[in-house]
Amino acid sequence: MANVPEKSSATLASFVIILPTGRSGQLAEGIRTLHAAIHERYTFFEIILVDDSGSHEHGVVIKDLLKQTPFLHYIRLNRPFGQEIASYAGLDQAIGDHVVVAVLGQDPLERLPEIIGICQLQNKVVFGRALNKPHGGWVPRMGERLFRHYLKRILNVTIDPDLTHLVAMPRSVVNQLLKVRDPSGYLSVQSGYVGVERTYVEYALNDPEAFQKDRGLARSVQRGVNIIAQNSVHPLRFLTWIGALGALFNLLYAVFITAIFFFKDDYAPGWVALSGQQAIYFFFTCTFFVVISEYMGQIMITVKDRPLYFVAERAHSNVLEDLTARRNVVDE
């Protein structure tokens, strides 16, 4: 394990914890464990809880935590947007110099201060790599392999097959990612698209089966389509080439019809006029297809102003610690 700095009083660390459905029983113990681990390394910090359950499942536990735990910030989204979008919601609210995002019940919360310390020391994006990540049957594995190859070839982004939702990043990277505002919210793709240095930390998932359930075949296909559609106009460009080839084929077909008319005497009456008419119509159809495809691609690149998520409830901890002896400024 890489060396990490001692307890820091010169930086603010933000810990974003995603609260999925079905984890209410683990919430109180997990946050207390995280809070104790943070105190060993950081003087100034904040814990941001992003509730992506779409219900009041965590309501009672959250009220108790807000009364007992300092530096706690709770955000409940008005419906489940997925862990990727919930991560963006947490990044939006984080004010720390370094930010780590993890999922309750999947990632080891007690190791988050250590991981954010690695991010602080190396000034790189730190991604979690699971030693026990399930990959499903041969069909999902083959589809995942083809998808990674496509991303590497088209978007020039390399994705490790064992990546999880766990990620830690400096403030400069957070600011860059928030400018992208990608509705797919896949941070590993966006960090590669932005072009930042990265490193990895290995760990074991607390609940591999729940992680696999969140990445079912239907969700994986939908996520892949969203990633490609939001980050590349390659599918539209592919249709552009098909339209261009169709237009060229119809031009060649028109030349063939003209040659038949001038050099061949035996042809069906009306065949030349009918075939020429069809060739002209299909030529213009393919041309319109090309133009519309290109303009749609440009619109997709430039028009992305819809909010990624909506907040239904927001609350802050009403417990404050005495920070008078822990200032990171010097009196003259």
In tens digits, the chain (332 residues) has pLDDT values of: 445 455 555 578 999 999 988 888 889 999 999 998 998 888 889 999 999 888 888 888 898 898 888 889 999 998 888 888 888 889 999 999 999 999 998 899 999 999 999 998 888 889 998 888 776 677 777 877 787 787 777 777 677 778 888 999 999 888 888 876 665 556 766 666 566 788 889 988 887 776 666 666 666 676 777 677 666 777 777 777 877 888 888 888 888 888 887 877 777 777 777 777 777 777 878 777 777 777 676 676 566 555 566 676 777 776 555 544 444 444 44
- The owner of tokens 């822990």 is 326
Contacts of 98 (CB under 8 A, 6+ apart): 11, 13, 14, 116, 119, 120, 168, 169, 170, 171
Contacts of 266 (CB under 8 A, 6+ apart): none
Take residue 22 and report the two structure tokens written for it: 């079905």
Take residue 9 and report the two structure tokens written for it: 């009083």
- The owner of tokens 């760990």 is 203
Query: What pLDDT is recorded for position 112?
Result: 94
Pairwise CA distance, residues 257 & 279, whole Å: 9
Query: What pLDDT is recorded for position 276?
Result: 76
Pairwise CA distance, residues 329 & 332, whole Å: 10
Whether residue 113 contacts residue 13, with contact meaning beta carbons closer than 8 Å, is answered with: yes
With DSSP H G I counted as helix, E B as strand and the rest as coil, what are the percentages for the chain, rounded to 5? 50, 20, 30
DSSP notation for 140-166: HHHHHHHHHHHHHHHT-----TTEEEE
- The owner of tokens 């904040």 is 46
Contacts of 307 (CB under 8 A, 6+ apart): none
Whether residue 100 contacts residue 17, with contact meaning beta carbons closer than 8 Å, is answered with: no
pTM, 2 dp: 0.69
Number of other residues whose CB lies within 10 A of the CB of residue 91: 23
Query: What pLDDT is recorded for position 74?
Result: 93
